[in-house]
């Protein structure tokens, strides 16, 4: 390994390192210059996340060797501006919400700067063309285009010498047309995001930005086969490579580490490194810890594995009938069917018997993957003296089920501390990471040093454990004499991939809104979950319900097409009517409210639906076809735990809690620190928390900080997903605010010699109603609360401190129909399990 | 996804680069902008032992007109070529075709020379240079030779440039006044490699097409220029029937394969549609 001294000029400063010629400029910038604002997304020039400027022109730093850049001027996002002194382009992105997770943002800013320098008056189309080489997975691009348009204006006025007021807390005029029921000062305003200044400056701390002394870097050797037995592994050459510290195979890992967490019952065993069989291309076969990722990958290439290929299963419709060599998990039974279950609600047979017309369709929903620009990653440490692990990881749900990783690692739950890093997008794929943190933790324990494992793009695409739904449907929809839909039944074959971490939870989710917005009285779903040689399904966007929405709407359109019914009228007729709420659908799930006809009407108006139908008619005469699509769907949000098991009579763990928690502390100066129990995914949790607390305690958002608890200090928190976080954390913040308000009122009442009921909170002060000047500021009260116990009565409600720790549960959760409530099932992946050969559970 | 180790030599001149290649023999590659080579290396698809970096040979960055042709140095970047006044004046078809090539940031680093030496069959520029009757100057230990575009491109990823040789210049005769030209492609997203692309240039004389050049990418392994179609169009009046027949002839002579992006039927459909479009556009432009 020949290295040489490479000296680069970055942002006007000189950085030098002793590096190999193959070191990519992106890695030099991040690791040698330690400027981590430039991110890595794909390492083959597709995503643009690594964009920097070389001699004033944008370049992909992953497609440049550091050594090529000697003698040139490199500019990164760190040169643009910092919090409190943002560049107008960063300011524009902040004002127009041109970022969510922040991972693509530095690359966008670099390109925007280059573009605006030569195009000071761009049109929207020019901007769209200009950023076409930079991907974003969160925003949908429109706000980025808005931001660059706005930046052009700011740059021009900057040149004209007008002063820009960019105080972090300036609130623009609200664009709301309808005011909420009560007057609010902060809630509902177009507040600039609290998260943005550091993200815009490239100072967000993502998993790959964590750097610990003595840290090693991990890579995996992954299977080139879809399905094969592992006959032998020879890692001797890999171990002998200079810079390699450890190489572990599945057998070695299994001596100290158990299967990964799995929520299906009975579980399907998955290991972080395959032991005797590989079940999809990309599955890890060995893991390596080395001085650099480059060397770890070199070592992987030196490992010799002897495989005996087995028949690959790639079509679930065939795989479900296979026995013998093509079965992925023979210990579980001689079949690739993981579960076969028929769910039937209402009188399906009777309804089909009396139907006037039945329409049938076969429908296909193909698998997808989230592809966040930031892959999954973890940095782990193991303290051999205490036996405790610390894992920095970009996962969610760590304060909910994170402790399950301790079980896998073979230690008690309190010997694992999980520290969240912000995530560059997730879309479900970082919901509950197990393989990535376990790989890094296992290597940390083995080597006695911190180990970083960041998936590269190939690892993430092939082996992220979170592919989306992949289904074949055969459906029938029954209509009665009044063109009302009365029943639907579907046969579904679901291609779950090689493992089964969530069981058929995706179908539980779908079933919770299976009949969509319609008054369908009975429904049946015959579900077969099949194991195949692909990455397993996990959490992706709608978590299975987007598929049932698609199916429902396709069937509605099929009925209209076949029976010559108008798609708008048909939907209107079949909607649940406003006066029918609250409404129970056949499965027992409850819809609390809705006005579907009004929503449909609004959508039709916004599109000018009638106008387009006329254009369509005209175009047909000219031989041109215009397609007009309509879909009216339920999008249930703020999921509760029962959704995943309420329809499964043999649920592994019938939990009923899925709370969100928050801690709020008022410090002696009267400022607040909010501690969240769940991570940032691009979803603005800090802004929401700040806005909510500012409103409830009449505080200035500038006096509020937000931070994230690790699991050692954390309280219960389920985390983002299913559009739930803002709603749930709002509940927890309201609870916490109430606790703090109560204490403030008690203290103030004593100091002002008044009754708490005579007090009000206004503009950061507690005052006696109607009496001018008789008040105490929150800051004064906080100082007293922290330091002056003896100024107050002896009773415990006056004890020192001013903080609250609260969790918020759903106020209403539908329970299972005759489910196993309180049946005391063991958590599925712990107990011993008898394999049920050939039986669908 | 990191590349395998390699040795690095920064060339101080063309002679030095050629000598370094000759010294090392097999396993040595030239590195210019790296926009084609480095992704392949990061993906493990290319594993050279030695990279000879010619990216700093500023003498090879020129874009100028000389003796009636546009002369482009082998290390001139796509961005520089697109932005150079001489390019637009002498060979406006280049600028039009460049709208379909990659993205701004890639074009800042990628070189036309590197791109055509890489000779990816889905790449647009090799086709465009063939249609523009370009020729390439290749230098080796035994001196210089000039090769026409038709001969320069041998096969997918294979050109006339030998192991110890280097492309130094691309020469494109200035397009004639009044020429019509067009280039269109279909790709999954703008900037991606083309599924099928079509290019055409021609002049009109007394109502008939002349000096017709026509070709496709993505239509099979055979050479990109379709002389059969050119011959059919040469001297013909560009009426609807002639252009339609020409597009059908392109389809008949196309031999695309199925791949994950498109099947044969769709590609032939693209051949028909894009051929028709570029022919029509070129004719309309020339008629003005």
pLDDT tens per residue, range A485-500? 999 999 999 999 999 9
Which residues in chain A are contacts of B80 at CB distance < 8 A? none
pLDDT at position A650 is: 67
Which residues in chain B are contacts of A24 at CB distance < 8 A? 2-3, 42
Q: Are A298 and B5 in contact (CB under 8 A)?
A: yes
Residue A803's alpha-carbon distances to A665, A679, A707, in angstroms, are 4, 21, 15
**Under an 8 A CB cutoff, do B4 and A22 touch?**
yes
Residue A483: HSE in the Cβ half-sphere, 13 Å Cα cutoff: 18
Q: Are A470 and A494 in contact (CB under 8 A)?
A: yes
pLDDT, average across residues A23-41: 97
**Under an 8 A CB cutoff, do B79 and A57 touch?**
yes
Question: Is pLDDT above 50 for A287?
Answer: yes
Question: Is pLDDT above 60 for A180?
Answer: no
Question: Is pLDDT above 50 for A527?
Answer: yes
pLDDT tens per residue, range A794-807? 999 999 999 999 99
**Under an 8 A CB cutoff, do B105 and A294 touch?**
no
**Under an 8 A CB cutoff, do A45 and B7 touch?**
no
pLDDT at position A81 is: 85
Residue B172: HSE in the Cβ half-sphere, 13 Å Cα cutoff: 30
Which residues in chain A are contacts of B109 at CB distance < 8 A? 54, 59-60, 63-64
Q: In angstroms, rounded to a whole number, what is the distance separating the alpha carbons of residues A144 and A121?
A: 16
Strand partners of residue B9 = B52
pLDDT, average across residues A583-590: 86
Please name which of A14, A188, A200 lies closest in space to residue A91, comparing C-alpha atoms: A200
Reported confidence tier of residue A83, pLDDT bands at 50, 70, 90: confident
pLDDT tens per residue, range A97-133? 999 999 999 999 999 999 999 999 999 999 999 999 9
Question: Is pLDDT above 90 for B133?
Answer: yes
Question: Is pLDDT above 90 for A835?
Answer: no
Which residues in chain A are contacts of B103 at CB distance < 8 A? 48, 132-133
What share of chain A in percent tops pLDDT 70? 93
**Under an 8 A CB cutoff, do B105 and A130 touch?**
no
- Is this complex scored with an ipTM above 0.90? yes
**Under an 8 A CB cutoff, do B31 and A68 touch?**
yes
Work out the angle at residue B35's Cα, subtended by the Cα atoms of residues B34 and B37, and round it to the nearest 5 degrees.
55
Residue A407 is encoded by which pair of tokens? 């079980």
Q: Which residue of A has its CA nearest to B36?
A: A63
Interchain CB contact of A43 with B (< 8 Å) = yes
pLDDT, average across residues A586-606: 90
pLDDT at position B49 is: 97
pLDDT, average across residues A290-317: 98
pLDDT at position A378 is: 98
Task: Tally A–B CB contacts below 8 A.
Answer: 99
Question: Is pLDDT above 80 for A158?
Answer: no
**Under an 8 A CB cutoff, do A24 and B42 touch?**
yes
Q: Are strands B50-53 and B28-31 parallel, antiparallel or unpaired?
A: parallel
Reported confidence tier of residue A167, pLDDT bands at 50, 70, 90: very low
Least confident of A88-102, A157-171, A357-371, A534-548: A157-171
Mutate to test the interface with B, among A22, A31, A104, A126 (most CBs of B within 10 A): A22
pLDDT, average across residues A33-37: 97
| Chain B residues within 8 Å of chain A (Cβ atoms) | 1-8, 10, 31, 34-35, 38-39, 41-43, 51, 53, 55-56, 79, 102-106, 108-109, 189-191
Q: How far is A497 from chain B (nearest CA, A)?
A: 21
pLDDT at position A646 is: 62
pTM of the model: 0.87
**Under an 8 A CB cutoff, do A58 and B3 touch?**
no
pLDDT at position A820 is: 31
Burial class (CB in 10 A: 0-12, 13-18, 19+), A135: buried
pLDDT at position A649 is: 60
Q: Are B139 and B166 in contact (CB under 8 A)?
A: yes
Question: Is pLDDT above 80 for A812?
Answer: no
Q: Which residue of A has its CA nearest to B9?
A: A21
pLDDT at position A264 is: 87
Q: Are A50 and B109 in contact (CB under 8 A)?
A: no
pLDDT tens per residue, range A734-776? 999 999 999 999 999 999 999 999 999 999 999 999 888 899 9
Which residues in chain B are contacts of A293 at CB distance < 8 A? 2
Reported confidence tier of residue A178, pLDDT bands at 50, 70, 90: very low
pLDDT tens per residue, range A461-517? 999 999 999 999 999 999 999 999 999 999 999 999 999 999 988 888 888 889 999
pLDDT, average across residues A802-829: 57
pLDDT, average across residues A519-535: 96
Least confident of A26-40, A175-189, A296-310, A323-337: A175-189
Burial class (CB in 10 A: 0-12, 13-18, 19+), A597: middle
Average pLDDT, chain A: 91
Q: In angstroms, rounded to a whole number, what is the distance separating the alpha carbons of residues A569 and B206?
A: 61
Question: Is pLDDT above 80 for A260?
Answer: yes
**Under an 8 A CB cutoff, do A60 and B102 touch?**
no
How many CB atoms within 10 Å of residue A136?
A: 24
Strand partners of residue B222 = none
Which residues in chain B are contacts of A1 at CB distance < 8 A? 5
Interchain CB contact of A326 with B (< 8 Å) = no
Q: How far is CA A431 from the centre of its chain?
A: 6
pLDDT, average across residues B62-66: 96
Q: Roughly how many angstroms between the first and final C-alpha of chain A, as a whole number?
A: 55
Scan for tokens 């309280």, then name that residue.
Answer: A715
pLDDT at position B252 is: 95
Q: Which residue of A has its CA nearest to B43?
A: A44
Task: With H, G, I as helix, E, B as strand and everything else as coil, classify residue A40.
Answer: coil
pLDDT at position A636 is: 78
Q: In angstroms, rounded to a whole number, what is the distance separating the alpha carbons of residues A22 and A2?
A: 10
Q: Which position has the higher pLDDT, A712 or A645?
A: A712
Q: Are B284 and B180 in contact (CB under 8 A)?
A: yes
Question: Is pLDDT above 70 for A827?
Answer: no
pLDDT at position A369 is: 94
Residue B60 is encoded by which pair of tokens? 């090879």
pLDDT at position A833 is: 17
Reported confidence tier of residue A638, pLDDT bands at 50, 70, 90: confident
Which residues in chain A are contacts of B190 at CB distance < 8 A? 132
Q: In angstroms, rounded to a whole number, what is the distance separating the alpha carbons of residues A712 and A418?
A: 8
Interchain CB contact of A1 with B (< 8 Å) = yes
Reported confidence tier of residue A411, pLDDT bands at 50, 70, 90: very high
Question: Is pLDDT above 70 for A181?
Answer: no
Q: How far is B178 from chain A (nearest CA, A)?
A: 29
Nearest to B39 among A45, A111, A293 (CB): A45
**Under an 8 A CB cutoff, do B190 and A22 touch?**
no
pLDDT at position A75 is: 96
């Amino acid at each position: 390994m020949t290295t040489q001294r490479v000296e680069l000029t970055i942002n006007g400063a000189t950085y030098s390192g002793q590096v190999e010629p193959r070191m990519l400029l992106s890695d030099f910038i991040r690791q040698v210059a330690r400027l981590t604002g430039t991110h890595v997304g794909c390492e083959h020039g597709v995503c643009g996340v690594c964009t920097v400027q070389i001699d004033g022109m944008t370049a992909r730093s992953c497609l440049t060797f550091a050594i090529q850049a000697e003698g040139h001027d490199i500019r990164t996002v760190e040169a643009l501006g910092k919090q409190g002194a943002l560049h107008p382009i960063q300011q524009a992105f902040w004002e127009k919400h041109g970022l969510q997770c922040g991972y693509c943002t530095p690359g966008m800013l670099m390109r925007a700067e280059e573009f605006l320098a030569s195009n000071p008056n761009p049109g929207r189309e020019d901007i769209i063309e200009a950023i076409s080489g930079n991907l974003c997975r969160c925003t949908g691009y429109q706000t980025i285009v808005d931001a660059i348009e706005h930046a052009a204006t700011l740059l021009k006025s900057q040149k004209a010498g007008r002063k820009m007021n960019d105080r972090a807390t300036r609130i623009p005029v609200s664009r709301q047309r309808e005011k909420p029921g009560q007057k609010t000062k902060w809630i509902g305003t177009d507040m600039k995001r609290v998260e943005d200044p550091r993200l815009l400056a490239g100072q967000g701390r993502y998993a790959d930005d964590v750097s610990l002394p003595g840290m090693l870097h991990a890579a995996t050797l992954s299977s080139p086969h879809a399905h094969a037995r592992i006959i032998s592994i020879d890692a001797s050459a890999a171990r002998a490579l200079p810079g390699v510290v450890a190489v572990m195979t599945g057998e070695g890992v299994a001596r100290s580490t158990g299967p990964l967490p799995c929520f299906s019952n009975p579980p399907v065993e998955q290991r972080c490194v395959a032991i005797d069989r590989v079940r999809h291309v990309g599955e890890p076969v060995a893991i390596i810890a080395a001085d650099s990722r480059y060397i770890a990958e070199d070592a992987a290439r030196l490992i010799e594995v002897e495989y005996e290929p087995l028949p690959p299963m790639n079509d679930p419709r065939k795989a479900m009938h296979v026995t013998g060599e093509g079965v992925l998990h023979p210990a579980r039974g001689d079949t690739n069917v993981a579960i076969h279950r028929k769910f039937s609600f209402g009188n399906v047979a009777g309804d089909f018997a009396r139907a006037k017309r039945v329409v049938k369709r076969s429908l296909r929903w193909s698998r997808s993957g989230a592809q966040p620009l930031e892959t999954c990653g973890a940095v782990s440490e193991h303290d051999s003296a205490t036996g405790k692990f610390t894992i920095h990881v970009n996962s969610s749900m760590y304060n909910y089920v994170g402790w399950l990783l301790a079980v896998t690692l073979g230690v008690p739950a309190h010997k694992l501390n999980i520290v969240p890093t912000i995530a560059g997008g997730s879309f479900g794929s970082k919901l509950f990471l197990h393989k990535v943190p376990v790989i890094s933790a296992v290597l940390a324990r083995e080597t006695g040093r911190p180990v970083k494992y960041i998936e590269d793009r190939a690892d993430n695409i092939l082996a992220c454990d979170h592919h989306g739904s992949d289904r074949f449907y055969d459906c029938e929809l029954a209509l009665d004499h009044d063109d009302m839909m009365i029943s639907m039944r579907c046969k579904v074959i679901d291609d779950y991939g090689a493992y089964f971490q969530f069981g058929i939870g995706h179908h539980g989710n779908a079933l919770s809104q299976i009949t969509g917005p319609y008054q369908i009285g009975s429904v049946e779903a015959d579900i077969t979950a099949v194991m195949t040689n692909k990455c397993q399904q996990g959490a992706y966007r709608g978590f299975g319900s987007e598929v049932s929405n698609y199916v429902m709407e396709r069937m509605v359109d099929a009925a209209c097409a076949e029976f010559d019914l108008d798609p708008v009228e048909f939907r209107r007729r079949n909607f649940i009517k406003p006066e029918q709420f609250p409404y129970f659908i056949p499965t027992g799930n409850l819809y609390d409210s809705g006005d579907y006809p009004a929503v449909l009407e609004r959508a039709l108006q916004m599109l000018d639906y009638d106008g387009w139908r006329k254009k369509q008619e005209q175009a047909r005469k000219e031989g041109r076809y215009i397609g007009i699509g309509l879909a009216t769907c339920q999008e249930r949000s703020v999921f509760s735990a029962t959704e995943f098991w309420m329809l499964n009579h043999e649920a592994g763990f019938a939990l009923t809690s899925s709370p969100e928690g928050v801690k709020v502390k008022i410090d002696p100066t009267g400022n607040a620190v909010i501690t969240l129990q769940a991570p940032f995914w691009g979803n603005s949790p800090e802004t929401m928390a700040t806005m909510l607390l500012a409103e409830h305690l009449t505080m200035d958002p500038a006096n509020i900080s937000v931070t994230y608890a690790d699991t050692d200090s954390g309280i219960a928190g389920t985390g983002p997903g299913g559009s739930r976080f803002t709603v749930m954390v709002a509940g927890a913040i309201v609870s916490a605010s109430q606790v703090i308000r109560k204490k403030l009122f008690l203290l103030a009442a004593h100091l002002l010699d008044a009754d708490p009921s005579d007090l009000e909170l206004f503009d950061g002060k507690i005052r006696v109603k109607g009496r001018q000047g008789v008040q105490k500021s929150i800051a004064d009260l906080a100082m007293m609360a922290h330091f002056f116990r003896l100024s107050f009565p002896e009773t415990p409600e006056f004890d020192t401190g001013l903080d609250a720790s609260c969790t918020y549960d759903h106020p209403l959760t539908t329970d299972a129909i005759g489910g196993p409530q309180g049946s005391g099932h063991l958590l599925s992946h712990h107990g011993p399990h008898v394999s049920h050969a050939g039986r669908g559970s | 996804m990191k590349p395998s180790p390699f040795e690095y030599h920064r060339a101080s001149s063309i002679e030095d680069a050629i000598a370094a290649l000759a010294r090392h023999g097999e396993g040595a590659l030239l590195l210019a902008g790296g926009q084609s080579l480095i992704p392949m290396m990061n993906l493990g698809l290319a594993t050279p032992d030695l990279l000879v970096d010619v990216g700093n040979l500023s003498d090879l960055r020129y874009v100028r007109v000389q003796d009636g042709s546009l002369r482009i140095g082998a290390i001139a970047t796509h961005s520089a070529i697109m932005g150079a006044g001489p390019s637009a004046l002498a060979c406006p078809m280049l600028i039009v075709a460049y709208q379909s090539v990659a993205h701004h940031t890639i074009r800042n680093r990628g070189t036309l020379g590197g791109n055509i030496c890489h000779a990816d069959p889905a790449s647009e520029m090799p086709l465009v240079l063939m249609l523009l009757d370009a020729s390439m100057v290749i230098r080796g230990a035994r001196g210089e030779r000039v090769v026409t575009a038709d001969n320069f491109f041998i096969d997918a990823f294979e050109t006339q440039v030998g192991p110890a040789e280097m492309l130094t210049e691309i020469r494109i005769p200035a397009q004639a006044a009044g020429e019509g030209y067009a280039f269109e492609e279909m790709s999954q997203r703008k900037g991606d490699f083309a599924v099928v692309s079509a290019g055409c240039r021609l002049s009109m004389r007394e109502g008939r097409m002349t000096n017709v050049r026509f070709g496709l990418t993505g239509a099979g392994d055979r050479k990109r220029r379709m002389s059969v179609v050119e011959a059919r169009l040469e001297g013909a009046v560009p009426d609807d029937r002639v252009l339609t027949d020409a597009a059908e002839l392109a389809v008949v002579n196309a031999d695309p394969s199925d791949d994950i992006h498109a099947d044969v039927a769709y590609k032939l459909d693209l051949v028909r549609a894009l051929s028709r479009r570029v022919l029509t556009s070129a004719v309309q432009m020339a008629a003005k």
